[in-house]
């Protein structure tokens, strides 16, 4: 199968023409015309709902988008992924993270070999290790149980575990503190070590190749900290690794039996379901980690089995394509109304922008349309007092995902009612807006003089007609979080297929690393005047 340039297809042209027919249509008006619009433009999977009715879409829009998906052979590409085929063409690898959370007994083959026995073996080792740490059977060099776990990784080896442990904070072990160190800025490691006792601290070093520059630098600094306070012989009781490079981990001082492996068909940003999720398993316990996997598997099955018109990831991907390429939205806000999901936007930045932030199709030709938008976000209601001004009244067109859990777990139900009201109000405000006449009438009713009200009305008007999705979960627990993350994974996959790009490589992160190594080695400084000038200032000021 080859990449199809959809922008040259009759199906794309039909959508362009359809967009013109909606030029004077407002989203709010569509609700006036259809009393059951929510029912027609929302989907459910158990206690998991996607409302996409506040987008500028009609039944005809969705029909044309599904025709486009058929032209792009999205379902065939999905089936190839689930079959373990090498759809990561630039690296000649399968894309098989779905096997990591597979719950059935049927085989999951890559190149004709069932990978499930190996997956279950690693999961079994993770279970035993996590249980030993949580129960106090794994002890440090002085016999003390583990009270602090510090995960050292970067990118996919950090963002998924860090986001998940924070998101599921109430389900975590109450007597173990978790820290995640990724930045090579020493301040990040120092903050994690500030209140750590070396005798009760466990480090998990996560690097597939055990050569990642930032991770190894932080790991060596952590090892120096530990050995200065205990002894070099303490390293095997305080360091474990998640890596495919067992020999390199052993050279570092980690015992081979404490290295947890994974496979080349696990991409970094899809790896939290593998042994990269070891800190999650320690935090939640094995039952909690299994529920996370089960939630993701439930979404996998839905993505694989549900028809296009009832398929949540397919619908999310098609709506995103419509907003990006036909409504000219170049920015995308993910707005979780849950403080514990504070790291979700950062996690999704890597998932979506590293996957689809590309300008080259699988066949090596340039894309002819906009691809990955700039993704940003912050928990509501904090974001409302920061960047919502731009979303509501700015010149950029931003489409949004609002996320809320129905059941409160904070023990403060009145606060959750207020949070929910804001969740509902913001998407409504983005859609309906407020005309200058309405704003003027409001001010006059409040007693303001006519001249002043007329002058202020343009400043208090909202264009509205800004598209958004709303995602409602029954509860923010391991099962529902697993579903949510798998939904975004598959939505990202759908978009990649529609754009004809390979969503599973990340060559864009390599050049800067190469140049950094060149500069560290003494070269590259004179390559341009700016770099040479900055380096000269740095050398002068650091002394």
- The residues assigned a catalytic role are 354, 385, 513
203 close to 180: Cβ distance less than 8 angstroms: no
The H or E element spanning position 77 is: helix 74-82
Alpha helix (H) residue ranges in 136-211: 159-167, 186-193
317 close to 352: Cβ distance less than 8 angstroms: no
Strands (DSSP E) along 322-409, which ranges? 331-336, 374-377, 398-405
519 prior amide bond cis, ω within 30? no
For 35-69, letters b (16+ CB in 10 Å) and e give eebeeebbbebeebbbbbbbbbbbeebbebbbbbb
Q: In angstroms, rounded to a whole number, what is the distance separating the alpha carbons of residues 30 and 246? A: 59
Contacts of 406 (CB under 8 A, 6+ apart): 47, 472, 473, 474, 475
What are the backbone dihedrals phi and psi of residue 202, each rounded to the nearest 5 degrees, phi first?
A: -115, 130
Contacts of 491 (CB under 8 A, 6+ apart): 313, 316, 317, 320
For 263-291, letters b (16+ CB in 10 Å) and e give bebbbbbbbbbbbbbbbbbbbbbbebbbb
CA dihedral 133, 135, 140, 144 (to 10 degrees): 150
């Amino acid at each position: 199968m080859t990449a199809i340039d959809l922008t040259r297809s009759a199906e794309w042209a039909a959508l362009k023409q359809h967009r013109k027919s909606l030029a004077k249509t407002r989203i709010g008006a569509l609700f006036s015309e259809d009393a059951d619009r929510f029912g027609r433009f929302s989907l459910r999977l158990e206690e998991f709902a996607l409302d996409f009715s506040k987008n500028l879409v009609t039944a005809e829009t969705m029909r044309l988008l599904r025709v486009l998906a058929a032209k792009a052979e999205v379902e065939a590409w999905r089936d190839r992924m689930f079959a373990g085929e090498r759809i990561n063409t630039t690296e000649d690898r399968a894309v098989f993270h779905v096997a990591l959370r597979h719950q059935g007994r049927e085989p999951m083959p890559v190149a004709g070999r069932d990978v499930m026995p190996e997956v279950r073996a690693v999961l079994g080792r993770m279970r035993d290790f996590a249980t030993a740490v949580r129960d106090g059977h794994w002890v440090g060099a002085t016999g003390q149980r583990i009270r602090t776990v510090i995960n050292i990784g970067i990118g996919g080896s950090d963002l998924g575990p860090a986001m998940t442990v924070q998101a599921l904070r109430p389900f975590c072990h109450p007597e173990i503190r978790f820290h995640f160190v990724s930045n090579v800025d020493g301040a990040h490691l120092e903050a994690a070590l500030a209140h750590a006792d070396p005798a009760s601290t466990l480090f998990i070093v996560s690097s597939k190749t055990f050569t990642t520059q930032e991770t190894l630098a932080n790991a060596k600094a952590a090892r120096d900290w530990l050995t200065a306070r205990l002894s070099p012989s303490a390293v095997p009781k305080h360091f474990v690794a998640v890596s495919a490079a067992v020999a390199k981990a052993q050279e570092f001082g980690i015992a081979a039996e404490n290295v947890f492996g994974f496979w080349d068909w696990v991409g970094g940003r899809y790896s939290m379901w593998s042994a990269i999720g070891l800190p999650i398993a320690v935090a939640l316990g094995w039952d909690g980690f299994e529920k996370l996997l089960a939630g993701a598997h439930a979404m996998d099955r839905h993505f694989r089995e549900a028809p296009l018109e009832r398929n949540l990831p397919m619908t999310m991907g098609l709506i995103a394509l419509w907003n990006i390429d036909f409504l000219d939205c170049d920015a995308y806000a993910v707005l979780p109304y849950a403080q514990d999901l504070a790291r979700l936007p950062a996690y999704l930045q890597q998932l979506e922008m590293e996957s689809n932030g590309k300008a080259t199709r699988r066949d090596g030709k340039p894309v002819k349309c906009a691809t990955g938008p700039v993704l940003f976000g912050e928990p509501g209601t904090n974001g409302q007092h920061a960047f919502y001004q731009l979303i509501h009244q700015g010149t950029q067109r931003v489409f949004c995902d609002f996320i809320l859990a129905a059941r409160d777990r904070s023990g403060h139900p009145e606060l959750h009612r207020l949070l929910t009201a804001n969740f509902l109000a913001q998407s409504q405000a983005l859609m309906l807006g407020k005309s200058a006449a309405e704003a003027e009438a409001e001010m006059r009713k409040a007693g303001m003089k006519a001249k002043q009200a007329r002058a202020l009305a343009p400043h208090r008007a909202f264009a509205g007609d800004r598209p958004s999705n709303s995602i409602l979960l029954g509860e923010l627990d391991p099962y529902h979080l697993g579903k949510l993350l798998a939904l975004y994974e598959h939505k990202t996959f759908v978009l990649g297929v529609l754009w004809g790009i390979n969503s599973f490589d990340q060559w864009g992160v390599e050049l800067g690393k190469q140049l950094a190594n060149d500069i560290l080695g003494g070269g590259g400084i004179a390559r341009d005047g700016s770099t040479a000038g900055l380096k000269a200032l740095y050398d002068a000021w650091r002394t």
